[in-house]
Amino acid sequence: MNIYKLGIKNALSNPLSTMLSIVLMLLSIGLISLMFQVTRQLDNKLAGNIRGIDMVLGAKGSPLQLVLSSVLHVDAPTGNINFGEAKKIARNPLVKQGIPVSYGDNYKGFRILGTEKSFLELYRAETEEGRIWEKPFEVVVGALAAERLQLKVGSTFSGSHGLMENSAEHHDHHPLTVVGVLKPTNTVADQLIICNLESVWLVHEHGHDDHGTESGKAEQGEEPHEHQEEEGEHPHEHDEGHDHDHEHEHDHGQVPDEDREITSMLIKFKNPMGMVSLPRMINDNTNMQAALPNYEIERLSTLLSAGSRAIAFIAAVIMLVSAISIFVNLYKAVRERKYEMALLRTYGASRGQLLLAVMVEGLVIGITGFLAGIIFSRLGMLVLGSYVEESYRYALGNAGIMKEEIFLFIFTVILTIFATIMAAVPVFYLNVSKILAEDD
């Protein structure tokens, strides 16, 4: 038996008020820590996804929507743009690189993205297994998508139209074959199914045919094979086409690439000058729009920060209330226990020892509340993470113990000690002789 145990036993002897203080502490710490976690994770995620993309070229509409859909892959696209026109912009001397992306299908909620191989380089995605696509209808799968969808090299599946999971229309006649699985990159690449542009175009050509003639007709079952063979050589020709003149591209297929449509083009500038002149030029002179991801995300964060500030404010108020509750409970306990305290003094306890006992009692509450709050925030992250993943296929990882949380811990301890000392003031003015002489 010692002073520390006495403090703990005292805390336990008042289970209701101790619980109340702990729950208040738990709520405030949980909210604050949850906010730290979410902000940190989103910032990391956003920064990783935007890295290397200075501008997005897409159909007119909301620039934020364009960034959300084409860079972060969470929203619906604004529409399509002409590939030829986009390429013209990409040839501007201020542009270092333009990566076309085209999408509109999903497989069980994971987006199927048609693009060029440079997209993988942008996110530094390497294959964990297998190889990168060579032909239409060959896909590589991001790490998260592969894990969730149980896809391996050699698996085949058919996408369905639209970006939501439950779309009724399936492209059953165009099975896609997995040829590679990507290593985790902690970017959007993890949750995408990636193929070349032709795959997307071809799927939709037939999709439209299907619309014309009632879907599921027996004679069309053969068609994909023909096309696959026809277009088999296509990518190679296409690659050359990029570097040389257009005439080349007009030579093959039914529709020349220039007349095809893509959803958007991700653009990296050679130097910051591009940021100044190009977006304006595009917005004024073309029927496309240019959106700057950094600017749009900044705008989004500003919008969201009002919400997170409100949560932070509420959390701070709860924290204050929990400190007051610790103070009130201890103050009441100290007054109720003044006989015990006087008695302990007669047994040789110093004021310091009595103060220590009260402090231990307060810290039991504060630290338990803090730990419970951290556990609460981790559980919250799990729930929130699974919700976010469910709706957006975004995986929020676990950031572990953050530096901010260590500061939060120190702050909690200081606040608790302060509340405790305030509550323990009567200990110093304890008139032992008077209390013991009183009849209660």
Q: CB of 333: closest distance to another protein in angstroms?
A: 10
Q: Which is nearer to another protein, 398 or 433 (CB)?
A: 433
Sign of the torsion formed by the C-alpha atoms of 192, 197, 198 and 201: positive
Task: Rule CB under 8 A: choose which of 207, 353, 392, 426 binds another protein.
Answer: 353
Quote the CA–CA distance of 318 and 323 in Å, as a whole number.
Answer: 9
Q: Going by DSSP bridges, is the β-strand pair 176-182/193-196 parallel, antiparallel, or unpaired?
A: unpaired
Q: CB of 188: closest distance to another protein in angstroms?
A: 57
Helix residue ranges per DSSP H, 264-350: 273-285, 293-336, 338-346
Sign of the torsion formed by the C-alpha atoms of 44, 49, 52 and 58: negative
Within positions 241 to 260, which residues make up the interface with another protein, using CB under 8 A? none
Task: Rule CB under 8 A: choose which of 349, 367, 417, 421 binds another protein.
Answer: 349
Q: Which is nearer to another protein, 10 or 264 (CB)?
A: 10
Q: Is 319 helix (H, G, I), strand (E, B) or coil?
A: helix
Q: Which is nearer to another protein, 347 or 429 (CB)?
A: 347
Contact region for another protein (CB under 8 A) — 30-38, 135-143, 413-421, 431-439? 431-439
429 part of the interface to another protein, by CB under 8 A? no
Q: Which is nearer to another protein, 117 or 351 (CB)?
A: 351
428 part of the interface to another protein, by CB under 8 A? no
Sorted by sequence, the CB contacts under 8 Å of residue 338 that are 6+ apart come out as 426, 430, 435
440 part of the interface to another protein, by CB under 8 A? yes
Q: Which is nearer to another protein, 128 or 340 (CB)?
A: 340
Within positions 308 to 337, which residues make up the interface with another protein, using CB under 8 A? 337
Q: Which helix (H) or strand (E) holds 105?
A: strand 95-107
Number of residues that bind another protein (CB under 8 A): 27
Contact region for another protein (CB under 8 A) — 66-74, 145-153, 290-298, 349-357? 349-357
Q: CB of 416: closest distance to another protein in angstroms?
A: 20
Contact region for another protein (CB under 8 A) — 4-12, 79-87, 178-186, 324-332? 4-12
Closest CA to 145 of 131, 162, 165, 161: 165
Q: CB of 22: closest distance to another protein in angstroms?
A: 17
Sign of the torsion formed by the C-alpha atoms of 281, 282, 287 and 293: negative
Task: Rule CB under 8 A: choose which of 75, 223, 340, 404 binds another protein.
Answer: 340
Task: Rule CB under 8 A: choose which of 81, 125, 344, 419 binds another protein.
Answer: 344
Sign of the torsion formed by the C-alpha atoms of 18, 21, 27 and 33: negative
Contact region for another protein (CB under 8 A) — 241-249, 250-258, 340-348, 418-426? 340-348
| DSSP secondary structure, 327-392, as one string | HHHHHHHHHHTHHHHHHHHHTT--HHHHHHHHHHHHHHHHHHHHHHHHHHHHHHHHHHHHHHHHHH
Q: What mask, x for binding another protein by CB under 8 A, covers residues 7 to 26?
A: --xx-xx-------------
In the chain, what's the furthest Cα-to-Cα distance? 110
Q: Are 101 and 67 in contact (CB under 8 A)?
A: no
| DSSP secondary structure, 145-196, as one string | HHHHHT--TT-EE--EESSSTT-S-B-TTS-EEEEEEEPP-SSGGGG-EEEE
Task: Rule CB under 8 A: choose which of 76, 124, 339, 379 binds another protein.
Answer: 339
Q: Which is nearer to another protein, 17 or 294 (CB)?
A: 17
Q: CB of 428: closest distance to another protein in angstroms?
A: 12
350 part of the interface to another protein, by CB under 8 A? yes
Closest CA to 103 of 87, 135, 80, 127: 80
Within positions 42 to 71, which residues make up the interface with another protein, using CB under 8 A? none
338 part of the interface to another protein, by CB under 8 A? no
Residue 311 identity (one-letter amino acid):
I
406 part of the interface to another protein, by CB under 8 A? no
391 part of the interface to another protein, by CB under 8 A? no
Q: Which is nearer to another protein, 143 or 326 (CB)?
A: 326
Residue 253 identity (one-letter amino acid):
G
Q: CB of 350: closest distance to another protein in angstroms?
A: 6
Quote the CA–CA distance of 417 and 415 in Å, as a whole number.
Answer: 6
- Contacts to another protein by CB under 8 A: 1-3, 5-6, 9-10, 12-13, 337, 339-340, 343-350, 353, 432-433, 436-437, 439-440
